[in-house]
Amino acid sequence: MTHAQLTALLPVILLAGTAVALLLVQAITRSHRVTAGVTLAGLAAALVAVTRALPQGATPVTALLTIDRFALLYTGLLALIGIGLTLLSFLYLAGRTRLTGAYYILFTLALAGGAVLASSAHFAAFFLGLEMISVSLFALAAYRRDDPAGIEAGMKYLVLAGVATAVLLFGAALLYARYGTMAFAALGTAIAPGAGDPLTLAGIALVVAGIGFKLTLAPFHLWAPDVYEGAPAPVTGFIATISKAAVFALLLRLFTQVHLREHPALFAIFATLAIASIFAGNLLGLRQMNLKRVLAYSSVANMGYLLIAFLAGGPAGAIAATFYLTAYLPALLGIFTLLTALSGRERDADAIADYAGLAWRRPVLAAAFTVLLLSLAGIPLTGGFIGKFYVALTGVSAALAGSPAFWALVGALVVGSVIGLYYYLRIVLAFFQRTPAGEEPAAITRRVPDAAAIVLTLSTLAVLWLGVLPGNTLTLISLLVEEWFR
């Protein structure tokens, strides 16, 4: 292994190494603080390693991984969100369970899986990364053994993710049977652009189904609300942010190398998934009274919007999608921070009714929560708006460039956003309910710990910053992403 390869791989090594270190630490002390501290240190070190690796260009590390700027960008993003989620996990676990060591090991392993996904260049690495995430998440979702809902969520995720992985593997096997390779680049040269035979297309379609499961694209979204609801709040946060961002990075990379996106059949598949997700997500959320389930449906819809940018392709599509995720992740992180901070021992504060009167009792929290929700809804002055704007822009440019099908996608985006606004604003409306003194929901009276306040402040500021001054971030993203298209 050369020095360059080592530098490039260092973030992944550090993440995996943190998991190992945590195992060893458990032998010495089971202190929650020490465990969480080691985790944070590992993630911070990985973040530093990312910045050190950035200056060098794309570096192939074995046949499995290609660590380029795109991969590092996503790894850095995942590590940042991971740091926030670690703090949340610390707050959540403290006082709820004494067995904390395994949690952080699984958490770090899942994060390492995400980093592998973001840089994989081979179906084997893809599978490895995916399973690192999935297997860790089964256990994490069911981590509170005293909570039947958590156990149920873990079980559902285990079975369904197993099905999805099987389908994905079968798709990869079909491709291997047809071309004799599982490396993305080799597949890309072997498959003539736009001309796929049924075997290839079926293989890709099965892979897409597996990816669709992870991204909760309709009709593979059925599991999402149940798992979101049952899993502990920080784990739900992990499923909603890190696992999706990593899988989406893989999707972008795979289809940038394998030129099948424009094939009519695959285009139809992706367009169907996008439109179905946008409508299913937004419609299902309408009357939902559980905040976690609302977030599940919201993520279904948001992944549908993201697919539009993905379908448009080219640098503009990749930049739009990456910016969209960059704005989407802190918004979700902030919401899960609030959810975690205001949750009680017995159950998470995941009913919308738990937030009734928040604006009167805790105006600052209500303001931050509103900003985050409005960003998910894509209202101006938030990063969500800029993200949605760029997604719509790429869709419209693609439509004008000669693919009229994009008009339908952009239309779905517009109509879906309008429908979705209803349930976001319904939550904001609950903040302004008047509750008689002494009968407020317990959640809104709880103290927000300092760590949560910091995470919440930073993520809210990030959302606003991306909404008001998106220029710097856009420039940075386009610098990092354009490497692919040179």
| Positions in the binding site for other proteins (CB under 8 A) | 155-156, 159-160, 163-164, 167, 198, 201-202, 205-206, 208-209, 212-213, 219-220, 222-223, 225-226, 264-265, 268-269, 272, 279-280, 283-284, 286-287, 419, 422
Taking the complex as a whole, the smallest distance from the CB of residue 185 to other proteins amounts, in Å, to 24
- Residue 141 near residue 168, CB atoms below 8 Å: no
Return the number of the residue (57 or 264) whose C-beta is nearest other proteins: 264
The Cα 394–Cα 449 span in angstroms is: 41
Closer Cβ to other proteins, 73 or 164, answer by number: 164
The neighbouring-strand residues paired with 122 are: 183
CA dihedral sign, ordered 344, 348, 352, 358: positive
Nearer to other proteins, 26 or 290 (CB): 290
- Taking the complex as a whole, the smallest distance from the CB of residue 237 to other proteins amounts, in Å, to 21
Residue written as token pair 């949605």: 388
Closest CB to other proteins among residues 267, 465: 267
Name which of 40 and 283 has its Cβ closer to other proteins: 283
**Contacting residues for 305 by C-beta, under 8 A, at least 6 apart:** 274, 278, 324, 388, 391, 413, 416
Q: How far is CA 308 from CA 51, 61, 295, 466, 474, in A?
A: 30, 31, 20, 21, 18
Report in angstroms how near the CB of residue 139 gets to other proteins at its nearest. 18
Alpha helices in 142-263 (DSSP H): 148-179, 184-190, 198-214, 223-230, 233-238, 244-257
Integer Cα distance of 293 and 103 in angstroms: 23
The residue (of 61 and 167) whose beta carbon lies closer to other proteins is: 167
Q: Closer CB to other proteins, residue 196 or residue 313?
A: 196
β-bridge mates for residue 120, sequence order: 65
- Residue 402 gets the label, from left (phi > 0), alpha (psi -120 to 50) or beta, of left
Distance of CA 235 to the CA centre of its chain: 12
Quote the least distance from Cβ 26 to other proteins, whole Å: 33
Instruction: Considering the complex, state which of residue 291 and residue 331 has its C-beta at the smaller distance from other proteins.
Output: 291
CB 63 to other proteins: min, Å: 28
Tell me the Ramachandran region of residue 180: left when phi exceeds 0, alpha when psi lies from -120 to 50, beta otherwise.
left
Shortest distance, position 144 Cβ to other proteins, whole Å: 19
Closer to other proteins by Cβ: residue 269 or 448: 269
Q: d(Cα 252, Cα 451) in Å, to the nearest integer? A: 34
Determine contact, residues 369/424, Cβ cutoff 8 Å. Answer: no
Q: How far is the CB of 415 from other proteins (least distance, A)?
A: 8
Residue 92 vs 223, nearer CB to other proteins: 223
Judged on CB neighbours under 10 Å (0-12, 13-18, 19+), 319 is buried
CB of 105 to other proteins, least distance (A): 27
CA angle 121, 122, 123 (to 5 degrees): 135
The amino acid present at 423, given as its one-letter code, is Y
Closest CA to 281 of 377, 384, 381: 377
Q: 180: which residues sit within 8 A by CB, 6+ positions away?
A: none
Least separation in angstroms between residue 218's CB and other proteins is 8
Minimal distance in Å, beta carbon 225 to other proteins?
Answer: 6
Min dist CB 333 to other proteins, Å, is 26
Residue number with CB closer to other proteins (281 or 383): 281
Query: What gap in Å lies between CA 258 and CA 188, rounded to an integer?
Result: 4
